[in-house]
Structure 1
Amino acid sequence: MFMVRTAGREAAIDDDRREFSLMGKRQGNGLALARPISTGVRSRVVLELHQNHGGCRFTALVGGEYAPGEGDRLAWRVKCWETVRPTPQPGLLPGTLLPGLPEELDHAVGRGLDPYLNSGYLPAGRLVIDRAGYDRESSPLLFVTAAELLLHILLAGAFGSPVEPLVTSWVATGRISAVLPDFG
């Protein structure tokens, strides 16, 4: 696990956290035009972000997998799930989260991915967002950021770029590096 903290923001990444699995009762999915690739490996990551703003601590946890594929399409899917009585689970950062991705937050994840899915620049393969956690302080805006940062981290891991600078940069500046890795 990798963790970075400042007074205003915190982030942590880990390989996986099955306790935050999304069952896919509802899901958004599609195919996007993508760049053909010749290299890359499967990448799975879970990311948790905390951001302090106006006396509130906002939280978002998302996770997923990217697997390179042949052709010129990226198949993507965002699974959503919410139980009647979710059981709180320890997050990557201090505190507990409820497993799931309620409707308002799944739309936020989609908004974080949309600009990339519509660009035609992403590499061919399969992208699945299938882990999530939230609490009463979760913010749709932070879930937009978390989805975007998760995509950058998954692609960096798949194509051999270091992920730590991406996370450290977001914690330090609140911004995501606009540079995606070279896909080979």
Structure 2
Amino acid sequence: MIITEGGRRAAIRTDEASAAYDSAYATRCERPASAETGRAIRAVVELSRAFGGMTMRALLGAQFTPDPQSLVTAFEVPFGEPLGFGLVADCGSELGRPLVAGLPRDFADATLAGLAGDAQADPLPAGLLRVDRAGFDETGSSEAAFKLAGDLLRHVLHALLHDEEPLAVAQTVVSAW
């Protein structure tokens, strides 16, 4: 599913295997969980936003795993080495040229901030929401792009967990950019 609104574009899909990555490093936080029982679910979002002559790009995907024994939702964002250049861009993209798979350290905190939202954000059920798909553009990705992508991903997962239409929810988020 692709949303286009002016210079703002977003794509939602269930997976992007070429964006899979893992790392020994991660940043985490917790938020109070909703009282609802969750189910395992996965989503991937990608964004492209024309902004001041430059196009911001980011791709994020995560798996939510419920934990009915917990009272919190844990958010985990694994990351790699700092941003480098000359990397192979072989991660699939629905919104442009291929991206580089993985998440550099440079974007991990912004991703976590967008994904977890603030304490007043719509809570998710108890469990772990772990990012395990990411793609970046060496020149077009930024902290701002990954914060927006994290926020979009949280909204899409929230919609899926509540049997809402993720495209309509994503459209509302993209309109607010």
Does structure 2 retain, via aligned residues, the 8 Å contact 1:86–1:99? no
What does the per-residue CA deviation read over 1:78-102, in whole Å, with 9 as the maximum and x for residues that have no partner? 1113597642123122211001111
What does the per-residue CA deviation read over 1:132-166, in whole Å, with 9 as the maximum and x for residues that have no partner? 11111112112111101101111211221110012
What does the per-residue CA deviation read over 1:117-140, in whole Å, with 9 as the maximum and x for residues that have no partner? x44833211211111111111121
Within 5 Å, which residues of 2 pair with 1:1-184?
A: 2-38=1-37, 40-70=38-68, 71-82=70-81, 86-89=87-90, 90-116=92-118, 118-119=119-120, 121-135=123-137, 136-174=139-177
Does structure 2 retain, via aligned residues, the 8 Å contact 1:65–1:154? no
Q: Which residue identity lines up with residue 154 of structure 2 in the other structure? A: L
CA distance in 1: counterparts of 2:107 and 2:51, whole angstroms: 18
The count of corresponding residues between Structure 1 and Structure 2 is: 171
* 3-state SS in 2 of match to 1:96: coil
Change (3 A) 1:74 1:162: same
CA distance in 1: counterparts of 2:20 and 2:80, whole angstroms: 9
TM-score for the superposition, normalised by structure 2: 0.86
* 3-state SS in 1 of match to 2:160: helix
Q: CA deviation at 1:31?
A: 4.0
CA distance in 2: counterparts of 1:122 and 1:47, whole angstroms: 18
Identity between Structure 1 and Structure 2 (%): 29
CA distance in 2: counterparts of 1:94 and 1:52, whole angstroms: 12
Does structure 2 retain, via aligned residues, the 8 Å contact 1:62–1:131? yes
Change (3 A) 1:169 1:32: closer
Q: CA deviation at 1:30?
A: 4.2
CA distance in 2: counterparts of 1:171 and 1:152, whole angstroms: 11
In the alignment, structure 2 segments of 5+ residues that lack a partner are none
Which deviates the most, 63-72 or 142-151? 63-72
CA distance in 2: counterparts of 1:17 and 1:114, whole angstroms: 22
Does structure 2 retain, via aligned residues, the 8 Å contact 1:22–1:81? no
Q: CA deviation at 1:10?
A: 0.6
Question: 1:182 matched to which residue of 2?
Answer: none
RMSD between aligned alpha carbons?
2.1
Does structure 1 retain, via aligned residues, the 8 Å contact 2:155–2:170? no
Does structure 1 retain, via aligned residues, the 8 Å contact 2:115–2:153? no
